[in-house]
Copies of this chain bind each other. A is one copy, B any other.
Amino acid sequence: MTEHSSKYTTGLSVGTANSTPLSPVSLVKRTAQAYPNAPAILFDGLTRTWRETYARCLRLAGGLRRQGIGPDSTVAVLCRNLPAAVELSYAVPMSRGVLNMINTRLDAEGIAFILDHGEAEVLFVDSGLEAVARAALEGASVSPLVIGIEDPEELFEQPCELGYEAFIDASTPVAEDDLLPQDERAALALNYTSGTTGNPKGVVYHHRGAYLNAVGNTLEWSLPQHPRYLWTLPLFHCNGWCFPWTIAAKAGLNVCLRGPTGPAILDAIEATDITHMCGAPIVLNMATTEAESRGVTLPRNIEFMTAGAAPPAAVLARAEAVGFAIIHVYGLTEVYGPCAVCAWREEWDVEPAEERARLRARQGVNYVVLEELSVRDPETLQEVPADGETMGEVMFRGNVVMSGYLKNPDATSAAFAGGHFRSGDLGVRHPDGHVELKDRSKDIIITGGENVSSIEVEGVLYKHPAVAEAAVVAAPDDKWGETPVAFVERKPGVEADASELIAFCRERLAHFKCPTRVEFTELPKTVTGKIQKFELRRLVS
């Protein structure tokens, strides 16, 4: 054995020839060069190629830089899934500014908070959102430069001083050799959490993470070249789960949509030969229902990526019957959208249908680009045993975890305490290694010292033929500390009263887990169809 020299650490080189920052900007540039004539964006019959899209983005970026936008500037965008929202997903990173896509369903107060907190210097506004944008700007302290994106179907009532197309026309393109950030960990995007409790937090992504998760989507979905991708997922959701850059990496087509209604989705599928789409289970359900009502099966299998809670088995079966092929992913704003996937194993093909439904409803394993998905005791940080029963907090480690919360070092430290990102979700690890969510930590009900998973109780309620939707929350209880209370929407025309549902639960669950009260009501939901349990908790506290 020879003595160690330092041959591998001296005399080698890191320079411009062999080191470039990872950035989604490179994905756009490369596709524009490799496939200039391939279609990039389609909307209302207008198609732009990758060459045209890239040229417009270079101008947009040049115009933004001219306005002083740089690495510490926030560029806010309040826009439905129109072509401009896709272009700005490419152009703002090219300007080296930070892209802040704002939830288009927020009220003026919520938007004003974000504009102020992010210190927006520019705001792009969709004419379809004129009223709320004006109200937000009136309430905000900042005075960003406003650039109006005019939807021909819904013109501005008060014309904007500066229009999107005029801004592009008047701008000088950025030089192509000057597109990349200095540092791949420079901020790329700012995405506010939904803020169900307290003010929303501003999650910061960097170029490296977005590049990797964009590529990660191609790996998990085994994306073909030139996918035809329908924008059913809001671009303000974790930058559309990084899909603008994923579609760029595969030289695909972004098919834009004003809104993901059932008819709009089916029309787009029929008109443009869609191959892939993403969305919450509710979007899958809408598209399926519309296909059923039209009596059509899809012209080809369409890959549908859905996140979070898996669609119920019955919805899955209906969706597959009309022609959707489902992949189930999981993530949070803090991890660039999805970065866990229920990775299907060929040996599961032979399981009975019910077992297959159970297996595919799990959140699964880490994305290839995520280093680690784990379930840990939140105190000791020890991993829980892989027994499918011991609950712990779901934690993430890897390059697709946020840089932190903007101007909130305390929340950032708390989220990263112990060297993992703590999701606040509770779950188990099964013996086969897959992680399954059991609840949000704040949704756990602690009754008589026992932990009750609200999801488990809801799962039983959903089996009752009268239950359309159900949510179980903790109500304060003098004797037990907390007690489970169920909120239920009944199916039309099916009767069941509270005592029947409670008895139904007691036949199937330990008695301490069963609701002690059932309220029949319409369930409050977020814009993405998530039930807002915090509203329900208010009703019982």
Determine the residue in chain B with the shortest Cβ distance to A344.
B225
Residues in A308-361 with C-beta less than 8 Å from chain B: 343, 345-347
Point out the residues of chain B lying under 8 angstroms from A68, CB to CB.
1
Which 9 A-B residue pairings sit nearest by Cβ, starting from the closest? A18-B401, A12-B404, A8-B187, A16-B419, A12-B403, A11-B409, A20-B371, A17-B416, A34-B365
Determine the residue in chain B with the shortest Cβ distance to A39.
B346
Q: Does A193 contact B (CB under 8 A)?
A: no
Contact with B along A10-52 (1 / 0, CB 8 A): 0111111111101000110010011111100000000000000
CB distance A14 to B433 under 8 Å? no
CB distance A11 to B121 under 8 Å? no
CB distance A18 to B416 under 8 Å? yes
Contact with B along A55-86 (1 / 0, CB 8 A): 00000000000011011110000000000000
**Given contacts A11-B404, A26-B371, is CB(A72)–CB(B420) below 8 Å?**
no
Q: Does A215 contact B (CB under 8 A)?
A: yes
CB distance B406 to A204 under 8 Å? no
Q: Does A223 contact B (CB under 8 A)?
A: yes
The stretch from A233-241, A269-277, A391-399 touching chain B is A391-399
Q: Does A185 contact B (CB under 8 A)?
A: yes
Determine the residue in chain B with the shortest Cβ distance to A410.
B11
**Given contacts A11-B404, A12-B412, A13-B416, is CB(A399)–CB(B219) below 8 Å?**
no
Residues in A129-158 with C-beta less than 8 Å from chain B: 142-145
Question: For the complex, what is the distance from the CA of A397 to the CA of B408, rounded to whole Å?
Answer: 38
Point out the residues of chain B lying under 8 angstroms from A432, CB to CB.
36
Q: How far is the CB of A521 from chain B (nearest CB, A)?
A: 40
Question: For the complex, what is the distance from the CA of A19 to the CA of B369, rounded to whole Å?
Answer: 11
CB distance A396 to B345 under 8 Å? no
Q: Does A380 contact B (CB under 8 A)?
A: no
**Given contacts A13-B412, A346-B38, is CB(A7)–CB(B119) below 8 Å?**
yes
Point out the residues of chain B lying under 8 angstroms from A98, CB to CB.
8
Question: For the complex, what is the distance from the CA of A413 to the CA of B12, rounded to whole Å?
Answer: 9
Q: Does A366 contact B (CB under 8 A)?
A: yes
**Given contacts A1-B121, A5-B119, is CB(A13)–CB(B371) below 8 Å?**
no
**Given contacts A16-B397, A18-B401, A218-B219, is CB(A8)–CB(B71) below 8 Å?**
yes
Residues in A164-213 with C-beta less than 8 Å from chain B: 185-187, 204, 209
Question: For the complex, what is the distance from the CA of A399 to the CA of B5, rounded to whole Å?
Answer: 26
CB distance A204 to B12 under 8 Å? yes
Q: List 27 A-B contacts (CB under 8 A).
A: A1-B143, A4-B72, A6-B72, A7-B72, A8-B98, A9-B187, A11-B407, A11-B408, A12-B404, A12-B412, A13-B404, A13-B413, A14-B403, A17-B420, A18-B403, A19-B399, A20-B371, A20-B397, A26-B368, A30-B366, A34-B365, A34-B433, A36-B432, A37-B347, A218-B218, A219-B249, A222-B224
